[in-house]
Amino acid sequence: MKKVTKMNVLREQHPCFGARNNRGRMHLPVCPGCNIFCRFCERSINTEENRPGVAAKVITPNEACEYVERAIRFCPDITVVGIAGPGDTLASDNAIKTFELIGRQFPKLLKCMSTNGLLLKERLPDILRVGVDTLTVTVNAINPKIEAQLNDGIVYHKEKIMGEAGARILIGNQLAGIKAAADAGITIKINTVLVNEINRFHIKDIARTAAECGAAIYNIIPLIPQHKLKAFSVPNCIDIETVRREAGKYIDVFRHCQHCRADAVGIPGKNNFSQQVYFDKIPVKETFSHG
């Protein structure tokens, strides 16, 4: 008889851990603000772009359950409720409040949170309290000199800390948070944005370190050139496959990322019901400022 493990369940139920073509997920866009200044990130409110950091609108935690009910009517195959923005999930209390409400009303749905990890360790008690099943932590470097080329700085306990000083705090907090969360039994996926000109030859180091901290799976996302890195190159298939092979020496590598919006609804690569669920009117496109 096949032994049932948490990872086996995730591989059967969670699209980002191996379930394909028959399992859906819903992203709840409840987090507008962010606490780091990624040079490639441009959060936006619109219905046109298909990428992370974008949603048709931001909803409140109290509205979330109603939207989950609507989503399940459109896509009964939804097994996961995730929160991935448009900002960071731990930059406010919105994600924690939302998961608390979702857990009460939809206890069978897996709860998945994405974060930059700056506040992961200090907010871990809240994350555990509301029953988050999986965490995705975006780690783009473990070397502050490299991180500072990808991220201008952070806002940490109301203080703006720029350059390598901010990068050093971010990386230390990320790794400490990943280890603490993994030790507490949460399954961790690491996302890394591949920027050929900056962290191409650093990926294997991130993968090795993430695995040592307890991460279970690794997802390498090719850069979408925008914001301050809009002149940088798009990694091609050879670039991506090469770094996946290098990372795969240390950790399982996820290969089916769809660059999901922060309000995605449905089965990745098969259907998308986000407009049916969230759409009220066509919003005027606007871009968030940080904070």
Question: Tens of pLDDT along 87-130?
Answer: 999 999 999 999 999 999 999 999 999 999 999 999 999 999 99
Residue 243 and residue 255 in contact, taking contact as beta carbons nearer than 8 Å = no
Residue 71's identity, in one-letter code, is A
Q: Which of 66-75, 134-143, 234-243, 258-267 has the least mean pLDDT? A: 258-267
Minimal CA–CA distance to 100: which of 80, 120, 126? Answer: 126
Q: For 187, phi and psi rounded to 5 degrees? A: -80, 130
Q: What percent of the chain has pLDDT over 70?
A: 82
Ranges 1-5, 21-25, 64-68: which has the least confidence: 1-5
DSSP state of 191: E
DSSP state of 285: P
What's the whole-number mean pLDDT along residues 4-14? Answer: 59
Higher-confidence residue: 187 or 270? Answer: 187
Give the mean model confidence (pLDDT) for residues 147-171: 97
Give the tokens for residue 137.
């932590």
Contacts of 129 (CB under 8 A, 6+ apart): 100
Tell me 228's DSSP state.
G
Q: What integer is the mean pLDDT of 229-246?
A: 95
The pLDDT, as a whole number, for residue 11 is: 58
Averaged confidence pLDDT in the chain: 86
Q: What is the pTM of this model?
A: 0.86
Instruction: Return the higher-pLDDT residue of 247 and 26.
Output: 247
**Which is more confidently placed, 226 or 203?**
203
**φ, ψ dihedrals at 233, nearest 5°:** -80, 155
3-state secondary structure at position 211 = helix
Residue type, 269: G
pLDDT reported for residue 7: 62
pLDDT at 6: 66
Q: Tell whether the model's pLDDT for residue 54 goes beyond 80.
A: no
pLDDT exceeds cutoff 50 at 283: no
Q: How confident is the model at residue 4 (pLDDT cuts 50, 70, 90)?
A: very low
pLDDT at 29 over 70: yes
Does the pLDDT value for residue 5 go beyond 90? no
What span, in angstroms and rounded, lies between the C-alpha atoms of 96 and 90? 8
Q: pLDDT per residue over 258-272, tens digit each?
A: 567 777 787 776 767
> Regarding predicted confidence, which is higher, 4 or 148?
148
